[in-house]
A and B are shown apart, each in its own frame.
Chain A
Amino acid sequence: DTGVSQNPRHKITKRGQNVTFRCDPISEHNRLYWYRQTLGQGPEFLTYFQNEAQLEKSRLLSDRFSAERPKGSFSTLEIQRTEQGDSAMYLCASSLGIMGDSEKLFFGSGTQLSVL
């Protein structure tokens, strides 16, 4: 068990460019979450996958954001036409999904996005 892995750790891009982040959850975990965290704030929920199905998207996730989890394994989060307001830490978390809904989440170290 190597934990939740996120790549890249840091991404600097120019406004208007597209970026894609990858998350590899703990291998036996079937639940996967994306959160966003800005400086001095707690993480905010973005979206949730149960295996390959995306079951909820927050209203924070505008139509420029898309997330996928093909085959219920790794997940990608793409942001199109980035804006300066997209600058944040993007956190991925996973959980086992068989212990009830109040199980703990395991977070990755995040991808820090800076939009210039």
Chain B
Amino acid sequence: EDQVTQSPEALRLQEGESSSLNCSYTVSGLRGLFWYRQDPGKGPEFLFTLYSAGEEKEKERLKATLTKKESFLHITAPKPEDSATYLCAVQASLSGGYNKLIFGAGTRLAVHP
């Protein structure tokens, strides 16, 4: 069964303290791995799509990487405005030709000044 596990469940950082979030997955043929950010009371907001092992993408203080079994979201010198829940999702190759995503439970990140 396709599955996504994120760790840690929650992470508290001081402003400027870099860290990484983990997303491990088991899927029958990976078509894409997605990272989303979700603020309280809002829907998920797209950050990155990764397609193959070794791929990396960056946006401001965030960098996402992908291996054959897991993905990391690295946060460099975070600021309080980076506080949110970060969701990882996979699209399996048997998803029927459209983007039916399987989400992990997310990592709740709190960055304190």
Contact = CB atoms under 8 A, between A and B. Distances in A.
A110 B91 contact: no
A56 B100 contact: yes
B43 A91 contact: yes
B103 A102 contact: no
Contacts, number: 69
Contact of B101 (A41, A45, A108, A109): A45
Interface stretch (B11-19, B44-52, B53-61, B63-71): B44-52
A33 interface: yes
Interface string A86-111: 00000101010100011111111110
A70 interface: no
B100 A107 contact: no
A91 B87 CA distance: 14
A101 B98 contact: yes
Interface string A56-79: 100000000000000000000000
Interface in B1-58: 4, 31-32, 34, 36, 41-46, 49, 51
Interface of B: 4, 31-32, 34, 36, 41-46, 49, 51, 87, 89, 91, 95-106
Interface of A: 4, 31, 33, 40-45, 48, 50, 55-56, 91, 93, 95, 97, 101-110, 112
Given A50-B98, A101-B98, 10 more contacts: A33-B99, A40-B105, A48-B100, A56-B96, A93-B43, A105-B46, A105-B99, A107-B44, A107-B45, A109-B43
